[in-house]
């Protein structure tokens, strides 16, 4: 039973490794060993018994020995090399196998009537699984050319209708396997992303609970410190530089605690209202621009948005104001564009600017609290907006634009 289990593990495609392409090549190396085992212990003994042309057998055996040496070299180099590999290497190794197989089949056809087209169907399956896009198409074309060469060489053994039939079957096998492979890998990627997302949410809930407890316990002693400092300030008749510095630090702590409290999303605080979204967004931005008179903001409305939508306007307003503040503070000369649209029955609000974009660290750690690059920032603005969106079944994503600029996309279900 253990031998069967080990053999099964030997055959399984290692798709969970860090370098997927390296895992694919290692899998090809394993498949080569299985094929070489069949050659040395089944095919070559059969040819020795049934074929008298020993000089041709030397050629066939020599090809198998060369492949075994090549496979050994690859296996040893891959174990010692830690560099990453691209899909081009996978394409090259598959092509080497295909050409090598074609030489062997050419020999087999010379010494006997062997039907070898099924092996090309296996190559089509491997190419559809391991390659994508243009490389998969090129590899299929190479398979079809090799099969055409072999069938032309053994034309006497195949009727003409069989010649065309094999090419049709080859294309069907490649196309069906390619479609199924894309679907399976896309589903696997979605499951992987869902798992990462669930783990991230668990960590954020733990951080949220810790933050709520911390802010509650820290608020009382901080208020006492502030009262004592104010009392000292009233009694002090000399220099107040140290006292002012201490009060400034306490006020900074209070600001952070207020942000921490506001970032804890309670569904009881989310109140849906029926509003004209176009009008509401216009009013929010006009209110913001009263404090930022030099800001350059453009609003693009969509005619597909219903007249009335149910949405937590207060929470949405807080999130949008944070985004607008971030865009303005990064560069007051930014051109800020707010776009509203309905796509697949989901409301999208896109806020873009022409600034330097998000730092890499912010993008990689998006969704985590206390991630900021601003001197006086708390890193809770985007985090709070992110939690709000998730609490109503939506999402918030961020990205950098090309050649410059940043984009924040808020998405939520449409509730008319």
Angle at 41 between CA 39 and CA 43, to 5 degrees: 45
Q: Output the pLDDT for position 138.
A: 92
Residues 30-56: tens digit of each pLDDT: 888 888 888 888 777 877 777 655 566
Instruction: Provide mean pLDDT across the span 129-156.
Output: 84
Q: Output the pLDDT for position 139.
A: 92
Q: Which of helix, strand or coil describes residue 350?
A: strand
b/e sequence 314-335, b meaning 16+ C-beta within 10 Å = ebbbbbbbbbbbbbbebeeebe
pTM of the prediction? 0.53
Q: Output the pLDDT for position 377.
A: 61
Q: What's the CATH fold of domain 267-413?
A: Heat Shock Protein 90 (3.30.565)
Percent of the chain with pLDDT over 90: 3
Q: Which two tokens mark 79? A: 């174990």
Residue 237, pLDDT above cutoff 80: no
Residue 216, pLDDT above cutoff 70: no
Q: Which of helix, strand or coil describes residue 88?
A: helix
Residues 135-147: tens digit of each pLDDT: 999 999 999 988 8
pLDDT band at 2 (very low <50, low <70, confident <90, very high): low
Q: Is it true that the peptide bond before 277 is cis, omega within 30 degrees of 0?
A: no
Domain boundaries, the chain: 2-158, 202-263, 267-413
CA 363 to chain centre: 13
Residue 379, pLDDT above cutoff 70: no
> What is 218-237 written as a DSSP string?
HHHHHHHHHHHHHHHHHH--
Looking at 239-253, 255-269, 336-350, which range is the least confident one? Answer: 255-269
User: Within a 13 Å sphere around the CA of 95, how many CA atoms are in the beta-carbon half?
Assistant: 16
- The whole-angstrom separation of Cα 230 and Cα 363 is 41
Q: Output the pLDDT for position 261.
A: 58
Q: Output the pLDDT for position 57.
A: 74
Q: Output the pLDDT for position 3.
A: 63
- The whole-angstrom separation of Cα 287 and Cα 278 is 14
Q: Which of helix, strand or coil describes residue 23?
A: helix
Instruction: Provide mean pLDDT across the span 322-340.
Output: 84
């Amino acid at each position: 039973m253990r031998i069967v289990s080990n053999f099964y593990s030997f055959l399984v495609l290692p798709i969970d490794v860090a370098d997927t392409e390296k895992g694919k090549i290692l899998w090809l190396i394993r498949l080569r060993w299985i094929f070489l085992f069949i050659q040395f212990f089944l095919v070559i003994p059969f040819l020795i018994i049934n074929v008298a042309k020993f000089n041709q057998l030397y050629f066939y055996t020599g090809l198998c020995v060369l492949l075994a040496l090549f496979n050994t070299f690859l296996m040893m180099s891959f174990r010692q090399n830690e560099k990453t590999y691209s899909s081009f290497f996978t394409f090259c190794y598959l092509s080497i196998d295909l050409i090598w197989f074609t030489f062997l089949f050419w020999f087999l056809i010379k010494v006997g009537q062997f039907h070898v087209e099924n092996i090309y169907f296996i190559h089509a399956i491997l190419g559809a699984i391991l390659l994508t896009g243009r490389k998969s198409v090129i590899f299929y074309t190479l398979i079809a050319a090799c099969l055409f060469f072999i069938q032309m060489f053994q034309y006497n053994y195949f009727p003409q209708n069989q010649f065309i039939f094999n090419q049709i079957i080859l294309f069907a096998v490649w196309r069906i396997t390619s479609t199924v492979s894309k679907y399976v890998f896309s589903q696997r990627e979605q499951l992987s992303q869902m798992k990462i997302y669930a783990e991230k949410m668990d960590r954020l809930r733990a951080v949220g609970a810790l933050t709520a407890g911390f802010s509650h316990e820290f608020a009382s002693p901080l208020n006492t410190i502030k009262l004592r400092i104010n009392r000292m300030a009233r009694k002090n008749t000399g220099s107040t530089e140290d006292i002012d510095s201490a009060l400034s630090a306490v006020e900074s702590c209070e600001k952070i605690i207020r942000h921490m409290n506001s970032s804890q999303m309670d569904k009881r605080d989310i109140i849906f209202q029926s509003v004209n979204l176009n009008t509401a967004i216009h009013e929010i931005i006009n209110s913001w621009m009263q404090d930022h008179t030099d800001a350059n903001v453009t609003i693009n409305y969509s005619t597909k948005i219903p007249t009335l939508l149910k949405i937590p306007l207060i929470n949405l307003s807080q999130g949008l104001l944070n985004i607008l503040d971030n865009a303005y503070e990064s560069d007051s000369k930014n051109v800020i564009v707010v776009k509203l649209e309905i796509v697949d029955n989901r409301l999208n609000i896109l806020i873009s600017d022409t600034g330097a974009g998000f730092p890499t660290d912010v993008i990689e750690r998006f969704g985590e609290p206390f991630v900021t690059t601003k001197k006086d920032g708390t890193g809770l603005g985007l985090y709070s907006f992110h939690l709000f969106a998730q609490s109503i079944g939506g999402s918030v994503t961020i990205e950098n634009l090309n050649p410059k600029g940043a984009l924040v996309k808020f998405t939520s279900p449409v509730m008319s």
